[in-house]
């Protein structure tokens, strides 16, 4: 949830900067934006000072009470955070963030049943908010209710199957139930998605040897995982190692013959090797499968 809050804050800070450019006097909004900028930097105490100044100007500023609550939660001042979330909820009971924030603060106090009640309220407002499903699952896990936790993690996975943390949480829940084989599958998925992200990050840093090592880790535990073969092939292609790239794309195609990405990038690799006729055949196949250049 904190990740989502930070994304929203980044957007609002940009809006605030544009507004402040045309304002000379301090307003509740300007103090709020300053506070959010400090929050983004991890300066929670300074952020709270700004939020308090905003509240002094406008005591009914719902968003400020919410963001102050999140800052207090980050400082582990959970009772104070709950007071702020309650104030935000009293001003607008249909906001998801304060319900979820209150749930997290309660969970950190070990009040899991109360936390789950808050998560349920948040989910009644948006049943597809995956962060709340994760938080609810963790609360059930901490209560030893592993079956209920798995149900929550499964819902989160249905909304985003690429989150390593959720797969790991589900694996821990299954392991606690003695379902070790299913747990290992979840741990393997967690590693797969973690290594995919690691490989992508390393590739963007032009650390292509390490990126390939990340993709090879995936291939070792799941040799039929096409995205890893395509990603590895892409690294080879963008570093002009076309024969190795073609080998990777051929492997992806052997596993998944209708993978348009593999056909297209195999075509590019062949073209750069001067094998134009073969390349054109790959491009035609990629287009037939729906690849958009």
* Angstrom distance (rounded) from CA 224 to CA 67: 45
Class of domain 224-293: mainly alpha
- Cα angle 24, 30, 35 (rounded to 5 degrees) comes to 140
* Contacts for 170 with CB less than 8 Å, ≥ 6 apart: 149, 150, 153, 154, 157, 186
List the chain domain ranges. 1-126, 224-293
Q: Which parts of the chain have pLDDT scores under 50?
A: 4, 7-8, 11, 13-15, 17-24
Q: What is the largest CA-CA distance in the chain?
A: 72
Q: Which residue has the tokens 């195999």?
A: 266
Query: pTM score > 0.85 for this model?
Result: no
Q: Produce one character per residue of 262-274: b if its CB has 16 or more CB atoms within 10 Å, e if not.
A: bbbbbbbbbbeee
Q: Which of 161, 102, 186, 163 lies closest to 136 in space, CA to CA?
A: 102
Token output for 131 = 């962060």
pLDDT of amino acid 21: 43
The predicted-structure confidence for 256-270, as pLDDT tens digits, reads as follows 999 999 999 999 999
pLDDT of amino acid 293: 77
**Which alpha helices (DSSP H) does 205-290 contain, by range?**
208-221, 226-238, 242-255, 260-272, 276-288
Class of domain 1-126: mainly alpha
* Same CATH fold assignment for domains 1-126 and 224-293: yes
Token output for 228 = 């890893």
């Amino acid at each position: 949830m904190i990740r989502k809050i930070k994304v929203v804050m980044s957007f609002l800070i940009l809006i605030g900067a544009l507004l402040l450019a045309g304002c000379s006097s301090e307003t509740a909004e300007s103090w709020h934006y300053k506070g959010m900028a400090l929050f983004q930097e991890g300066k929670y105490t300074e952020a709270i000072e700004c939020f308090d100044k905003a509240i002094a100007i406008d005591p009914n500023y719902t968003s400020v009470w919410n963001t102050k609550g999140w800052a207090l939660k980050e400082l582990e001042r959970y009772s104070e955070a709950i007071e702020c979330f309650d104030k935000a909820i009293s001003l607008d009971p249909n906001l998801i963030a304060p319900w979820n924030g209150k749930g997290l603060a309660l969970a950190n106090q070990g009040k899991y049943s109360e936390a789950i009640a808050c998560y349920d309220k948040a989910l009644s407002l948006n049943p597809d908010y995956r962060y709340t499903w994760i938080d609810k699952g963790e609360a059930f896990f901490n209560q030893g209710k592993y079956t209920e936790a798995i149900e929550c993690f499964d819902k989160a996975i249905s909304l985003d199957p690429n989150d390593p943390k959720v797969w790991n949480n589900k694996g821990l829940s299954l392991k606690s139930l003695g379902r070790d084989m299913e747990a290992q599958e979840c741990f393997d998925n967690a590693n797969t998605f973690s290594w995919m992200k690691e490989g992508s990050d390393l590739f963007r840093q032009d650390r292509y040897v390490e990126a390939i090592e990340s993709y090879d880790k995936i291939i070792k535990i799941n040799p039929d995982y096409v995205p890893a073969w395509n990603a590895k092939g892409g690294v080879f292609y963008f570093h002009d190692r076309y024969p190795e790239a073609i080998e990777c794309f051929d492997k992806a195609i052997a596993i998944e013959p209708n993978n348009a990405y593999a056909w297209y990038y195999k075509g590019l690799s062949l073209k750069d090797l001067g094998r134009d006729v073969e390349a054109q055949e790959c491009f035609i196949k990629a287009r037939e499968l729906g690849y958009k250049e």
